[in-house]
Structure 1
Amino acid sequence: MESVMNGSARTGPPVIGICARTAPVAFQGDDMVVSFALQAHLAFLAAAGCTPLLLPLLPGVEAVADRIDGLLIPGGPDLDPALYGEDPHPGTRAATPDADRVELALTRAALDAGLPVLGVCRGMQLLNVLHGGTLHQHLPEVAGHDGHRPDTPSFTLGAHPLKLEPGSRIAGVLDEDAPQTACHHHQAVNRLGAGLTATGWAQDGTVEAVEVTDHPFAVGVQWEAGFTPDRRLHQALVRAARRP
């Protein structure tokens, strides 16, 4: 398999970078902070024929954009509202403002290099903020319900029928009569960023999918791809990474 990066060809499977998340853990009796990725993202990408590469969100990581063939921006904590000119809502949990800015720089570099990009949940929100958009910081206050992040004792996905824009990239990936989301988010797109097109909506009007206009493959989805057996988005990202 031949992979093309910034105009130069190399052999081997495509390399898909995955933005790392961090969390405190207890390991062998010691407290520490680790960088990690959801195992399903790694497994789904590898099964689709690529090499997943965990990218720590440290200053300068955007330089790796010329060494990867695609980028996956997974779910995670809320973005720092200062990035879109707002004060934090009491329910906003923006835990990593420095990492937010590194992730924005990495995503900008990937898009500028023409790499395929898939944003999942927080990843879609980051795409919107990168393009000058804003977020609803607490969706239940806007939608009038908690169906997008069910208020239950355990982690529960909310299911919603999807309306997709005919002919969009996301409609091509989810080629079915009655697509549904499996979501867990309390924030969502408010003002859509310049250069983005909304291509998927929940029944209550919440934007569930966006695409970077005039980009070969840069898609954001609000639902929790990776928490269900559905691998189609990961497969589509790898297919896009293989194209010359």
Structure 2
Amino acid sequence: MTSASKGPGRRPVVGITGRSVPVTLQGTDMVVSLALQSHVDFLAAAGCLPVVLPLRPGVEEVVAGLDGLLVPGGPDVDPALYGQSRHPRTRGGSADMDRAELAVLGAALEARLPLLAVCRGMQLLNVRCGGTLHQHLPEITGDDTHRPDGAAFVFGRHVLELEAGSRIASVLGSDGPPETACHHHQAVDRIGTGLTATAWAPDGVVEAVEAVGHPFAVGVQWEAGQTEDDRLHVALARAARHR
């Protein structure tokens, strides 16, 4: 992106790291790179230009042309990246995808780019900063309330405890304690260097982290983007606009 394209009045460009999934379109099987439409819609409604970033080697080079980054949910992170062997319930994507997304996250942190990391995104942010994960949360909490087990897709619901004065409290705390809509079986264990926990579920599971000293780098464990609550997307857009 040239400096001329960064003039006054232009829309902030926010990258959304893509997910590669198999689909059948007009009777033909294919693999596509995509983003959740609500992420696109929320950011566009907040005045941004969302762009999907296919997770290929070298994708981190586009960070210089972005004003913000959203890393969404997806498959489990390869546990080898945080020094563990694979749990039987861990279901990863691909090593190439993990490496590409870690590179984008690293470039965004180094550039102090406004960043929102959701679900897998928060876990990957923690791993990028040297942290570790619980690979199967029911073995820690003793229940499946963060990802209810059953045939149908059902959200777990938790009222959050927010750290007073935190970024996440400034975004969500004005209307009383927020309730999450979550669907995850993994979670932060050891918190990475430079990150701090700023929200918790009643059972003590970390539900948000923030990068210390960063203008706006927030990770949330719940499914932001799969409910009507767009406050985090609006906050990311505002940070991208002010960058």
Extract unaligned runs of 5+ from structure 1.
none
The farther-off stretch of 126-135 and 22-31 is 22-31
Deviation track 1:154-175 (CA, whole Å, cap 9, x = no partner) reads 1111100100000000000002
* Aligned mates of 1:196, 1:64 — CA distance in 2: 24
Whole-angstrom CA distance in 2 between matches of 1:97 and 1:205: 30
| Correspondent of 1:163 among 161, 164, 169 | 161
- CA distance in 2: counterparts of 1:110 and 1:95, whole angstroms: 22
**Structure 1 counterpart SS, 2:81:** helix
What amino acid does structure 2 have at the position aligned with 1:200?
A
Normalising by structure 1, report the TM-score.
Answer: 0.96
Look up the equivalent residue of 1:210 and give its one-letter code.
Answer: V
Q: Which amino acid is the alignment partner of residue 10 of structure 1?
A: G
Whole-Å Cα distance in 2 between the matches of residues 150 and 28 of structure 1? 34
Read off the aligned partner of 1:214 and give its amino acid letter: G
Q: Tell me, yes or no, if structure 1 residue 129 matches structure 2 residue 123.
A: no
| Alignment of 1:10 onto 2:10 | no
Could you say which residue in structure 2 is the equivalent of 1:119?
117
Q: How big is the shift at 1:28?
A: 1.7
- Tell me the residue number matched to 1:183: 182
- The one-letter amino acid paired with 1:168 is S
Q: Which runs of 5+ in 2 are unaligned?
A: none
Describe the SS at the equivalent of 2:23: strand
1:112 and 1:69 map into 2 onto residues whose CA distance is 13
CA distance in 1, matches of 2:109, 2:11: 20
Q: CA deviation at 1:9?
A: 4.4
Offset at residue 142 of structure 1 (A): 0.3
2:185 counterpart SS class: coil
Cα displacement (A) at 1:149: 0.3
Mapping of residues 160-239 of structure 1, within 5 Å = 160-175=158-173, 176-239=175-238
Distance 1:76 1:9 in 2: 31
- State the TM-score, normalizing by the size of structure 2: 0.96
Identity of aligned residues (%): 65
Pairwise CA distance, 1:232 = 0.0
Moved more, 9-18 or 108-117: 9-18
Q: Which amino acid counterpart does residue 32 of structure 1 have in structure 2?
A: M
Report the AA paired with residue 152 of structure 2: S
> How much does 1:10 deviate?
2.4
Higher-helix-fraction structure = 2
The one of 140, 143, 148 equivalent to 2:141 is 143
